[in-house]
Structures are given as C-alpha cells and as structure tokens.
Chains A and B, each alone.
Chain A
Amino acid sequence: MTGTRTPIAGRLCQGWVRFYTWKLPDADARRRREEIESDLFEHANDAQLAGVGEQRLNAEILARVLVGVPADLSWRRASRQEPLMRLAVGGIAMSMSKSTQHRILYWLSGLIVLYCSIGLVSGIASIFVDWDEEPSVAAKIFFFGVPVVSAITLVAGLVTQSRDPRRGLALVIAGAVGPAVWFWMLPFYAPVMIAVIALAVSVTPRKSSQAAIT
C-alpha cells in the first residue's frame, strides 16, 4: 500500500516519541520510534480502507498518544535513564545563571498569559457569534475558561514563588499545563510549556537548601 499520508496528529505523535526516547540507548530508542512509525502507517492505512475521515483519524491518534503518556514515561523510567525533566532541568541549570533563568521564566510566562488572553477574547466574542450549532456551556467553559484560569494561576505562582517556593512551583506547573486544553496548538505550545516547567523547577530551591537558609 503506498500513498498513505501521515496525518497531523501522526506527526505530533512522532515528535512526542522523539522527545521521550531522547538520550535513551540507541537500540531502544530506534526500536520504539520504528514501531510507532509502523503503527501510525498501519492505522492510517486501516482508516483509509475503512473510509474513516482525516479528522476522526487525527482524533483517534491523539487519544492514543494522550492515553499512553503515563506508560511512555514509566517505560522510559524503567530503562534506568535520567528522567526527561531532570535532564532538561540539569541542562538549564548548568548552562545559565539563576537570574537569567528567572528572566527567561518571566518572559515565557508573559507569552503564555498573552496566549491565554486569546481564550478571554474568544470567550467574549463567542457571546456575539451566531453559531450554526451552539457549543455546550461545558465546552465553552472548558475551551475559553481553562486558559484564563491557567493564566491567573501562573501569575499567582510566580508571585508566590519568592515566599513559598513549593506552592509557587505547583501553581506555575498547573498554570503552564492548563492551556494545553487547546490540544490542536500543542506542537507550538508544548516546547514553551516544557521550558517554563523546567525553568520553574530549576529556580526552586531544594528542601535541604531551604532548611540551610532558614
């Protein structure tokens, strides 16, 4: 069978696989990537034969990726390598001073807040839209409300971080993850989200150093 195109969710999936197999032993990483490559092809081919539309195929692939994320991460951990976030944090911590990390964290957080403001504007605009098919209230709250609440949580986290680093970190992570509800924007949003979380983890003092300070 030739001519089966990788749908957009398939490319997103490939990106995710490259991400969580990063720095794994070459044989393990290559095998997982090739298996997923084959799976995506077979899935697309199967959908084409069954007359399944591209939108539904994208939704199916995306659902398979999301449902499998915990297993992917635990598989990675089981391979006895450094967890990905620790690698990212370690890389950032080694390459930048704390003040630079703080500055980049604030800039990226500003970008996220700006990005979330689209949710607020779209939410208000949606009141005046003449919908062909009116979305449910739950859908409106989810897609417009969650990013707005996330932006507030993120800012609250940044403000709290100096007084209560652990709570601040938890709020920053929650605020950064929230806008991922716009899953169709994930290929662009995910790198910013990961960078913000990694930076926030890196600038948060460890418990022992806190104890030493106090």
Chain B
Amino acid sequence: MGRRKKGELIAIEVEILGKALELSAGGGPEFHGFRMARELREGDGSDALIGHGTLYKALSRLETAGMLESSWEDPDAATEAGRPRRRLYRITSDGRLAAVAALEPRLVPDPPWHPGIEPA
C-alpha cells in the first residue's frame, strides 16, 4: 500500500464529510463522535461501529486540515444532562467543498448501456 499524498482524503474521511454534510443540510450541523459512529453504521448498513481510534484519528486529521471545526459543549449543559461533556464538530466551508468534490463521482450516474456494446 502506497503512502497517501498530502491533502488526499481516505475513504473514511470522505464518508465522515459526507455525513457531516447531510447532518448540516438536515438542520443539525453539530455532531459528537459517537453520533458520527452511529451515522456511519447506518450509512453502510452494517452491525459494527467504527473503531474508536479510526474515528477520532480521522476527525482529528479533518480538523487539522480545516475541513471540520470543533469545540467543547457548555459544561453546565452536560452536568444538567448528567453526562460527560461532548466535543461537538461542524463542517466548514472548506470541508463542504472537499466533500462535494470527493463525492461528486459517486453522484454521477453510470452511462446508459447499449445492446451490442460491451461496457468497458
């Protein structure tokens, strides 16, 4: 397996950006780590949740690249809800552009198939 080029997104990062884009379009732009893990599981229809290390490393890389931004939620809100405070992530405008660029090829439909012509 070759070393990835600088700025190149790997599959899991593209998936995270795609989900972040969907959440943002759905009116809930902020998400925490476990929420993303659940979204990814539902997205690929599997039973398994993504590994902690894989998820948080990818989130950290996307944040360093300026495609996500994050902040801790208000500690009072967390205390009131009786849970540890959440780190909340949002997609940035750079992240949107990168997500659209990375996901675009998947959105283009396959060329129509003509009888007698073997698909390449």
Contacts and interface: CB of A to CB of B under 8 A. Distances in A.
Nearest to A79: B60
Contacts of A39: 32-34, 37, 52
A64 B49 contact: yes
B54 A67 contact: yes
Contacts of B48: 60, 63, 67
Interface of A: prevailing SS: helix
Interface in A87-144: none
Contact of B53 (A1, A2, A68): A68
A38 B82 CA distance: 11
Given A42-B32, A67-B51, A68-B51, A34 B83 contact: no
Instruction: Among B51, B55, B82, B87, find the residue whose CB has the most chain A CB atoms closer than 10 A.
Output: B51
Contact of B57 (A38, A66, A75): A75
A46 B34 contact: yes
A65 B34 contact: no
A38 B84 contact: yes
A30 to B, nearest CB: 11
A68 B33 contact: no
Interface in B41-88: 48-58, 60, 81-87
A122 B47 CA distance: 32
B83 A66 contact: no
A68 B37 CA distance: 13
A35 B87 contact: yes
Interface string B79-105: 001111111000000000000000000
